[in-house]
């Protein structure tokens, strides 16, 4: 799961998917990163931690890190939150195999529309709730794909 800072959207996506794969005992490794690296080492934003906890999800143990080229070797799928991050991650791809791993995450629930998970960082609480709702649906879709292969 990849966004810009790895403190708002991608840690939530990471936490949601981790929780869902754990509950189903699926052998899947979930992680998240940011393309900026500006917040490396930081906890998720307190507003995202609070929103997650209102839905019974604890993401406070996650720590921000920068996305690197090596992530293409470790992960089969890379979900990005918006088009800027799609661009930044795609720039690091070394070949077509890498490139094909990258998906705009909302394509999973609204295919072909190129929709973005809005950046909630400079907005109010509603933005964080909207991000939760979108990423809950998108991660449900990932679980559906993993369990209906």
User: Which residue in 16, 49, 33, 46 sits closest to 139, CA to CA?
Assistant: 16
3 state SS of 7: coil
Q: What CA–CA distance (Å, rounded) separates 79 from 85?
A: 10
44-63 residues in contact with ligand 4NP (CB under 6 A) are none
Is 94 among the residues known to form the active site?
no
82 DSSP 8-state letter? S
Piece of 3-11, 19-27, 104-112, 136-144 that binds ligand 4NP (CB under 6 A) = 3-11
Report yes or no: 127 and 12 within 8 Å, Cβ to Cβ: no
Catalytic residue among 9, 14, 18, 71: 9
Q: Which of 22, 38, 74, 147 contacts ligand 4NP by CB under 6 A? A: 38
Question: Binding of ligand 4NP at residue 121 (CB under 6 A)?
Answer: yes
Residue in 3, 45, 71, 82 annotated catalytic: 3
**Which sequence positions are flagged as catalytic?**
3, 9, 119
Residues lying near ligand 4NP in the complex (CB under 6 A) are found at 3-9, 34, 38, 119, 121
């Amino acid at each position: 799961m990849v966004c810009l800072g790895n403190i708002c959207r991608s840690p939530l996506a990471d936490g949601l998917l981790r929780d869902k794969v754990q509950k189903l005992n699926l052998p899947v490794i979930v992680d998240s990163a940011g393309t900026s690296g500006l917040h490396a080492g930081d906890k998720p934003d307190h507003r995202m931690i609070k929103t997650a906890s209102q839905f019974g999800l604890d993401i406070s143990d996650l720590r921000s890190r920068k996305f690197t080229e090596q992530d293409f070797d470790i992960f089969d799928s890379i979900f990005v939150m918006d088009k800027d991050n799609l661009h930044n991650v795609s720039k690091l791809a070394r070949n077509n195999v890498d490139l094909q791993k990258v998906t705009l995450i909302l394509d999973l629930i609204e295919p072909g529309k190129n929709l973005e998970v809005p950046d909630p960082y400079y907005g109010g609480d509603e933005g964080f709730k909207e991000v939760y709702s979108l990423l809950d649906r998108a991660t449900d879709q990932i679980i559906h794909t993993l369990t209906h292969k």
